[in-house]
Amino acid sequence: MAKLRFLGHAAFHIEGRGLNALIDPFLSGNDKTPFSPADFPDVNFIFLTHGHGDHLGDTAEIALRSAATVVATVEMCNNLSKSGVRSHPLQIGGAFGFPFGRVKMTPAWHGSGIQLEGGMIYGGVAGGFLIEVDGKKIYHAGDTGLTMEMNLLADESVDVALLPIGGNYTMDIDDAVRALRMIRPKTTVPMHYDTFPVIEASPEEFAKKAFGLTAVKILKTGESMEV
Ligand code: NI
Ligand code: MN
C-alpha cells in the first residue's frame, strides 16, 4: 500500500515498494510549507511536470543530494543534466516501466518556460503523470486547463487524482469538477490553491460540488493518505 503525503501547492511525497519519490518539489520559497530540501535526503525519483518555478522548485538540489532520477520531458531533462542531475526523459503519451511500476506522461494545457535571471528559456511542453505503484494508479495533472484529453484517463481506472482547483493559471473549481466527469477517479485530492492570492479557492466548495463523482480527500500540508 502506497503512502501519499501533501507537501503544499502541487508538491507530493509518494512512498511505495521500490519508490520514494517527490512530485514538483517547490519547498524553498513557499512560505506555506514547513518542508525543506534537507527533509528528503534519500528519495530515488522526482517527477517534474513542467519548468515553472513553483514546480521545478528544489528539484536540482534534492536530486543532486540524493542521486534521485528526475523524470520529466526531454527538454527539462536536458536542461537539468547541465547541472549534473541524473534523469529519465519521457514525452507526452510515452510511458516507461520502472522497477517500481509504469509511469506515463500525460498532456497538460499549460506552458513550461524556465525562469532564469536573464529571462525565460524554453522548457518544452507541460505535462502530468500517471504513476503506478503497489498496484495503484496516481494521476498528478500538473498545471492544466480543462482539456478533452482527460477523457483518455477514463480507461485507466485512476485510484487517486491530484487536480488543481485554484484557477487563474489552471482549472478552477468548476472546471476541475468537469474534469472529474472525464477522468472518473476513485478519490481526488485538490491542489494548487491558496499559495498565492490569485489562486485562492475553497477545497470544501470543491468537495461539495464533486459529491457523487469521486471521494474528495482534502489534505492539509504535511498530511498523508494511503493509496
Ligand atoms: Ni505552471
Ligand atoms: Mn503552478
How many whole angstroms from 208 Cα to the centroid of ligand 2?
Answer: 24
184-206 pLDDT, tens digit per residue, is 999 999 999 999 999 999 999 99
Domain encompassing residue 27: 3-219
Is residue 225 included in any domain, yes or no?
Answer: no
How many whole angstroms from 28 Cα to the centroid of ligand 2?
Answer: 15
How many whole angstroms from 184 Cα to the centroid of ligand 1?
Answer: 24
92-144 pLDDT, tens digit per residue, is 999 999 999 999 999 999 999 999 989 999 999 999 999 999 999 999 999 99
Is residue 226 included in any domain, yes or no?
Answer: no
Strands (E), 61-145: 69-73, 87-90, 95-98, 101-107, 114-116, 119-121, 127-133, 136-140
pLDDT recorded at residue 50? 98
How many whole angstroms from 55 Cα to the centroid of ligand 1?
Answer: 7
Is residue 224 included in any domain, yes or no?
Answer: no
How many whole angstroms from 18 Cα to the centroid of ligand 2?
Answer: 28
Is residue 151 included in any domain, yes or no?
Answer: yes
As for how many domains the chain has, the answer is 1
10-69 pLDDT, tens digit per residue, is 999 999 999 999 999 999 999 999 999 999 999 999 999 999 999 999 999 999 999 999
Is residue 94 included in any domain, yes or no?
Answer: yes
Whether 56 contacts 114, CB under 8 Å: yes
Ligand lying closest to the C-alpha of residue 9: 2
Is residue 25 included in any domain, yes or no?
Answer: yes
How many whole angstroms from 49 Cα to the centroid of ligand 2?
Answer: 10
Cα–Cα distances in Å, from 201 out to 38, 81, 126, 167, 227? 30, 36, 23, 8, 25
pLDDT recorded at residue 140? 99
Is residue 128 included in any domain, yes or no?
Answer: yes
130-181 pLDDT, tens digit per residue, is 999 999 999 999 999 999 999 999 999 999 999 999 999 999 999 999 999 9
How many whole angstroms from 98 Cα to the centroid of ligand 1?
Answer: 26
pLDDT recorded at residue 227? 96
132: domain CATH number is 3.60.15.10
